[in-house]
Structure 1
Amino acid sequence: MAMKNWTAGTQCVAKKDHCKPKDGEISYHKGDILTLVGPGMRKGEYTARHNTTGEEGQVSGSNLREREALRIDPKLSLMPWFHGKIAGQQAVDKLKPTEDGLFLVRESVRHPGDFVLCVCFSQKVFHYRVIYQDNKLTIDNMQFFDNLIDMIEFYSRNRGAIATLLLKPKKKEGLKSAETKLLKSGWLLDLSKLTLGEIIGEGEFGAVFAGEYAGQRVAVKIIKCDVTAQAFLEETSVMTNLHHKNLVPLLGVILHNGLHIVTELMTKGNLVNFLRSRGRFAVSVIQLLRFALDVCEGMEHLESKKLLHRDLAGRNILVSEDGVAKISDFGLARVGSMAVDNSKLPVKWTAPEALKNKKFSTQSDVWSYGVLLWEIFSYGRQPYPKMTVNEVKECVEKGYRMDPPDECPADVYSIMTSCWQTEPKKRPSFHKLRERLEKELKLHT
């Protein structure tokens, strides 16, 4: 068998149990995730860290397979059993040959907006109307659910008011189960190992909690709306492809109450609050340059993968326990430039051509990076102070640019203004920006 040549940082899935470790080895179970730290002591071995126990030691390469990145696949569905708007008779035809527990969910033709759960039991198909009331779904007015994913999960484990447990989803033609794919590729985590703590953030898509997963401190973004959860599946696919010290790492997902996205916990919060609460007496210019460089290196990595962030701003940069800045929220990260809803665009951070013609590119990310630099060197002030969003739009279009923050080094301000060239082609790449910042850091150290 050819030698596997994995580099440090590669995540692997254990192919079998290894419960009686020899000296220097670590124990693991089939399906556990291990991160390679470097080559092992002997040929064919690696030094690895167990993602959940944190234990480090030797592992045989032949017991591991690489954790696959997920491809963005529009056929991947969190609800492969959802068939959209079809009539009762069509549902009955789809559930042939009948077997107990075979089921699908459809949107009601007679009662638009309501759903129907269709399930086979003793050669018959039962249709349960799912009523939508007070933002909850219910079949029997006893059990209430936030979304369909939740409801199906519940009735797969409890019979409740229906004829039989839901045993086998009837997939809509052409759809693949995201759950199966996540499980196979090693990204589906085990709900029983998760403990949720306090809320640390509220997004428009749901709350973010601090928590613990198998002993590791984590942040958990919970997306309850199933349509949004489906959209976030794409964000998750993007994150499985990205490994870089300046990007917040994805640990995996849990399908329960919608979608839980589990990432490493960045204990020092977002960069804006970090700088505001400490101020210029506690944080040196060298530290500011390091933050700027951290973000730049993360963005250079996205640039190399031809990915855009589209919402680069201080609030989306998180600071780790050891003071490293990492980019989070690839919520809008997409390959290439797709149309985005303009009302949601963060105007003060968005390049003029992106606001005007929705032209997103690495160059528009560079513009946002210039604004982020201004936030860093002003210790977390709101950009374009005292100006309304509409004033900013108008003035920037006419050529207005922000003044340097107090005591900002001249070279850093000139980097900012280079990011704010009107002509996108004239803005530097993240690669070039990194070189300039490294030079600047040498001058200050």
Structure 2
Amino acid sequence: FLQKVWAPGTQCIAKCDHTKPKKQELSFRKGDILTIVCDGESKGAYKAKHNKTGEEGLVSASSVREREAIRIDPKLSLMPWFHGKISGQDAVQLLQPPEDGLFLVRESIRHPGDYVLCVCFQKEVIHYRVIYQENQLTIDEAISFHNLIDMIEYYMKNKGAICTILSKPKRKAGTKSAEEELSKGGWLLDMHLLKLGDAIGEGEFGAVLQGEYMGQKVAVKNIKCDVTAQAFLAETTVMTKVQHKNLVRLLGVILNNGLYIVTEFMAKGNLVNHLRTRGRSVITVHHLIQFAFDVCEGMEYLESKKLVHRDLAARNILVSEDNVAKVSDFGLAKVDLKKNDNAKLPVKWTAPEALKQNKLSNKSDVWSYGILLWEIFSYGRTPYPKMSLKDVTEQVEKGYRMASPEECPPSIYVLMKSCWEADPGKRPSFKKLKEKLEKELRTAGSL
């Protein structure tokens, strides 16, 4: 039985208690999360850091298991206690037999837009109207919340204006608690260990902040809206499945005031701004080919996992302190593409068959990669300069393709054009593109 070798940074979960450590060993309890620091001197041992206490010491490989990916499951809910539009009578039926602190939340039928918190107390079910005003939720107007998750969290710790502390959620049939699944998988982080810093970017859903988690620099997305947070849960489950040096790494999730998604920190920001602010005088053609190669490696890995990114563009590529480009924002990445969900597709980056028939595949990602190459070799210019979106769609359909960026190596332009074949079947795979870029790197390196 060969023990898998774990790279530094691998997150593991303790399979048992180890509370009486020998000298140099780490103390931990079952379920604790430990990060591998490096190999131990002896066989089957690792030096690891305890994610809660920050202590370091030796652990035996047999007493820990690697953190596992979370199944992408539509039943996974951040709000398993939310039952949608049901009547007050239905709520009472669901909360039988009544026990103090058993609760659920439903949509108010009488007051559309409001909610009702239904709580059992002394064999009765009490209904509290939750008023939605000025983008906030409140029961007693003394305290307001951004969203339901926040409100329930508060009343699970404080009695406030209600009859009793909420202690037991009544789950909607068929849902699973995302919190429990994330915790079991080892992806739930501790809010108390997160220090938040300045905003470093702005997504459609809210700010991206810089932060620190147990001494490590991190980037944090905080999604306050319930519905968006639920949608981002899918992105997060995709990120638990993928690990590659050219993909931005998920460190974990915090459920507190909505959803916090914690990823590794990429010091040099996104690739568009990186290229625009430094320009030709700092960034050589060899650097450009290296960025293109990095992205291609990350995409080849996604292709091998049958994952489609759907929003590949230089704005979604981040650059690390040591100039490695990594693919981020699996916000639209889906495993199952049969569902026709008209997410706002970025027209200038999207393949014609994806725009017209919503046919998204690794081959439509390859088309987007061609546009990304054009962005890289034009030092961050916006594709199809001076053309409206309508013109782009019509002209591309008729066979128009962008001209080569200034001073772009002809062989790279040939690659770009191969990504823009009208027939998806004629476009190269990322595997093929990677081989060609490897040759380019060797040539550029020897110049």
TM superposition score category, shorter chain reference: over 0.9
Give the superposition deviation at 1:122: 1.2
Give the superposition deviation at 1:93: 1.3
Contact conserved, 1:306 with 1:336, CA < 8 A, in 2?
no
| 2:214 counterpart residue number | 214
C-alpha change, 1:382 and 1:18, in structure 2 (3 Å) is: farther
| 2:149 counterpart residue number | 149
Give the superposition deviation at 1:46: 3.1
Distance 1:184 1:78 in 2: 15
Residue 96 of structure 1 aligns to a residue in which SS?
A: coil
The TM-score with structure 2 as length reference comes to 0.94
| 1:5 counterpart residue number | 4
Contact conserved, 1:247 with 1:328, CA < 8 A, in 2?
yes
More displaced stretch, 5-14 vs 75-84: 5-14
Task: Write out aligned runs for 1:41-60 (5 A).
Answer: 41-48=41-48, 58-60=58-60
Residue 195 of structure 2 aligns to a residue in which SS?
A: strand
Task: Write out aligned runs for 1:95-110 (5 A).
Answer: 95-110=95-110
| 1:366 counterpart residue number | 366
Deviation per CA, 1:229-285: give whole Å up to 9, x if none: 111111111000001000000000001111110001111100000010000110111
Distance 2:55 2:92 in 1: 52
Give the superposition deviation at 1:347: 0.6
| 1:438 counterpart residue number | 438
Give the superposition deviation at 1:434: 0.3
Give the superposition deviation at 1:299: 0.2
C-alpha change, 1:194 and 1:113, in structure 2 (3 Å) is: same
| Amino acid across the alignment from 1:400 | Y
Give the superposition deviation at 1:63: 2.0
1:405 correspondence with 2:398: no
Distance 2:99 2:114 in 1: 25
1:22 correspondence with 2:23: yes
Residue 130 of structure 1 aligns to a residue in which SS?
A: strand
| 2:356 counterpart residue number | 356
Contact conserved, 1:46 with 1:60, CA < 8 A, in 2?
yes
Give the superposition deviation at 1:35: 4.3
Q: How many residues align?
A: 443
Give the superposition deviation at 1:440: 0.4
Task: Write out aligned runs for 1:234-245 (5 A).
Answer: 234-245=234-245
Contact conserved, 2:106 with 2:117, CA < 8 A, in 1?
yes
Give the superposition deviation at 1:159: 0.7
| % identical aligned pairs | 68
Contact conserved, 2:193 with 2:213, CA < 8 A, in 1?
yes
1:276 correspondence with 2:276: yes
| Amino acid across the alignment from 1:440 | E
1:264 correspondence with 2:269: no
Give the superposition deviation at 1:48: 4.6
Deviation per CA, 1:121-172: give whole Å up to 9, x if none: 1111110000111111111111111111110001001111000000000111
C-alpha change, 1:343 and 1:387, in structure 2 (3 Å) is: farther
The TM-score with structure 1 as length reference comes to 0.95
Give the superposition deviation at 1:31: 4.1
Give the superposition deviation at 1:176: 1.1
C-alpha change, 1:297 and 1:51, in structure 2 (3 Å) is: farther
Give the superposition deviation at 1:312: 0.1
Contact conserved, 2:35 with 2:49, CA < 8 A, in 1?
yes
Unaligned 5+ runs, structure 2 = none
C-alpha change, 1:51 and 1:154, in structure 2 (3 Å) is: closer
Deviation per CA, 1:321-365: give whole Å up to 9, x if none: 111100100000001424565471111100011011111010000
Distance 1:282 1:29 in 2: 50
Give the superposition deviation at 1:26: 5.3
Distance 1:167 1:53 in 2: 28
Give the superposition deviation at 1:32: 4.2
Contact conserved, 1:19 with 1:29, CA < 8 A, in 2?
no
Deviation per CA, 1:274-329: give whole Å up to 9, x if none: 01000011011111111101000000000000000000000000001111100100
Residue 335 of structure 1 aligns to a residue in which SS?
A: coil
Note the aligned Cα RMSD (angstroms): 2.0
Distance 2:162 2:57 in 1: 50
Give the superposition deviation at 1:22: 3.1
C-alpha change, 1:275 and 1:285, in structure 2 (3 Å) is: same
Distance 1:48 1:62 in 2: 13
